[in-house]
Chains A and B, each alone.
Chain A
Amino acid sequence: MDAGSRAIKIALLDTRTRAVVATGSCDQGINQSALASDLLARLLAEQGLDAGSIAATVATGYGRHAVAAADRAVTEITCHATGVYHLHADVAAVIDIGGQDSKFIHLGTNGLVVDFSMNDRCAAGTGRFLEVVAQRLDVPIASLGEHARRADKPASISSMCVVFAESELIGLLASGTSRENIIAGVCRAIAQRIAAMAGRIPAGKIVFTGGVARVAGMRDALAEALRHPVTVASDPCMTGAIGAAIIAARENGGSE
């Protein structure tokens, strides 16, 4: 279970085959423990399973300690790394951009975390920032990428603080800068933030995960800022939950 800031995500994993049996998500809410239990019950029912078929449950995400259905909590850093490694065994680094934070995780060849850096102090470089921009420019989040691709001269965004950026956006619009150029500029500014956080850029594969990985323009912006190709994870919203499930399976289901 990944109790994130915006959504709760659950992955069911077969302990023996390590295959992902089912995944599901719901919006985060006040009683996240009950929401998580309901979602789990729903997923189990859809698969014709019951609570007795669960060997172990690991929770991750910012609400990991609040989920009563979990046996144990593991940090989202370890879980994202484990989940991405499961889906992409040749991964060297993971970029995770979620609603409230962003991380750059360096992995060893065995899939273990070697080093990580993280931003969760302010909205700069997170999904929240993109949301504010999309709202302000009246563009659906999903089509930010399309707009960014049409930019001819990405605007330079100096303020990465949500509060100040809003007024900066208004200023840019007023001076006639196109929405396309503003969006491309914002993506670039976020990507540069992540690149600065990354430190050394690994030679191997960099996998992009988290909710923001679904925003098409961000992958290109990251690849440009890192000067390194970036692959979007095959199930970017689920890697944390899948990682948690793998850890639960490892500890309770015998060998790999």
Chain B
Amino acid sequence: MKDCGLDWFEEMVEHCYQKATEFHEAGTPIIGILCEYTPRELILAAGAWPVCLCGGDADMIPAAETLLPAGICPLIKSTFGYSLNQANPFLEMASLLVAETTCDGKKKMYERLAERHPMHVLELPQKTGDPDARIHWIRELQKLRTVLEERFNVAITDERLRDAIRLMNRERRLRRALAQEMRSATPPLSGRELLDLKSLIACLPDDLAAYERIAGALPGRPADARPSPDNVRVLLTGVPVPHGAERILDLLEADHATVVCQENCTGIKPVTEEVDAEADDPLTALADVYLHLPCSVMTPNSERMRRLGELAREYRAECVVELIWHGCLTYDIEAAYTRELAAQFGLPYLRIETDYSPNDDARIALRLGALYETVRAARR
């Protein structure tokens, strides 16, 4: 059994399933989300529970490929395959899906998903810095607010919204604090262990309590339970690593390396900023923070590079690894920027392009091996 309370998240999916079933039977709506641009606060304020539906299972892909082209990203195919196979109980229980126009693959897949599930798509503007984009995004969130109110017969008052914002801020703060423990010269966790400290359903009270317990216990974690402080310190960036695709972290850490920072959407990216719960208009405050999220679907996305530079320093990264799912054009195009940034920082850089199947593990391990040899040689 894992120490420091980490065992709680080893059964995260089971806990979520149990909770979701309880909610479902009690008539409390479950709302599926598929991206970090979805403001979970609005869903929570509607008295519903947001559950993440991103697929990480390779076995779901063949079904998806009967309708979708094989060349698109495995995350999109796996998520969709779960629907065709009716294999994701959370998806089957969801009374609504909320999605947004991010990358082309997702956007077009949602049309198909909407054939089996009630769906509301937010139009996400993609010029973060444009004042009109901000106005448009605020309107989109206002529309979502109305859709949720009418559909679930609730009033999403500013007060309820503020409460939901405070709750989400607390979860973000807790997850951020855990991630920041990895800045230490003797990181308490492996990157793989840290990746497990999250939940499909946001803000479940038991999860929040578990984050707190773990945060309290980690400083006392004995040296023999921590990864070796001699390990190569890796900054991971690029696409998210959804539940089921964790093999990537195992590969990254198989050869005396620790992923000290995960900049992506399953890591620190969505928990970096907090929303001002006391703002005059909480909805506007919400819209502003979410529109900032530095995803590669935005143009330009210079905020991502700015944050990456900061993270490289804060976490004392010795190299940068960029993960690209096959078919993810936007992150792949940005990879060249990351490479340039890493060069500016004097950090060795490696881009790994793969999908969910393990058959190129050996070629990935070879590249990582060479990268880590380079880092170790430079230490001498």
B349 and chain A: residue at smallest CB distance: A115
B370 adjacent to A116 (CB under 8 Å):
yes
Given A75-B373, A78-B374, the answer on whether A115 and B366 have CB atoms closer than 8 Å is no
A118 and chain B: residue at smallest CB distance: B367
A115 adjacent to B348 (CB under 8 Å):
yes
- Bound CA–CA A1/B348 (angstroms): 27
A75 adjacent to B377 (CB under 8 Å):
no
Q: Count chain A residues whose beta carbon lies closer than 8 angstroms to a beta carbon of B.
A: 14
Interface residues of A in 69-116 (CB under 8 A from B): 74-78, 112-116
Given A112-B377, A112-B378, the answer on whether A77 and B370 have CB atoms closer than 8 Å is yes
Instruction: Report if A146 contacts B (CB, 8 A).
Output: no
Instruction: Report if A27 contacts B (CB, 8 A).
Output: no
A113 adjacent to B363 (CB under 8 Å):
no
Chain B residues with CB under 8 A of A118: 366-367
Chain B residues with CB under 8 A of A74: 369, 373
What mask results when residues 43 to 74 of chain A are scored 1 for a CB within 8 Å of chain B, else 0? 00000000000000000001000000000001
Main secondary structure on A side of the interface with B: mixed
Chain B residues with CB under 8 A of A114: 348, 374
- Bound CA–CA A120/B369 (angstroms): 15
Chain A residues with CB under 8 A of B366: 62, 75-77, 118, 120
Expressed in whole angstroms, the minimum distance between the Cβ of B287 and any Cβ of chain A is 39
B348 adjacent to A75 (CB under 8 Å):
no
Chain A residues with CB under 8 A of B370: 75, 77-78, 113, 116
A113 adjacent to B377 (CB under 8 Å):
yes
What mask results when residues 362 to 380 of chain B are scored 1 for a CB within 8 Å of chain A, else 0? 0100110110011001100
A120 adjacent to B348 (CB under 8 Å):
no
- Bound CA–CA A115/B369 (angstroms): 13
- Bound CA–CA A4/B103 (angstroms): 41
Expressed in whole angstroms, the minimum distance between the Cβ of B178 and any Cβ of chain A is 33
Expressed in whole angstroms, the minimum distance between the Cβ of A116 and any Cβ of chain B is 6
Interface residues of A (CB under 8 A from B): 62, 74-78, 112-116, 118, 120-121
15 A-B pairs (CB sep. < 8 Å):
A62-B366, A75-B369, A76-B366, A77-B367, A77-B370, A77-B373, A78-B373, A78-B374, A78-B377, A112-B377, A112-B378, A113-B377, A115-B348, A116-B370, A120-B363
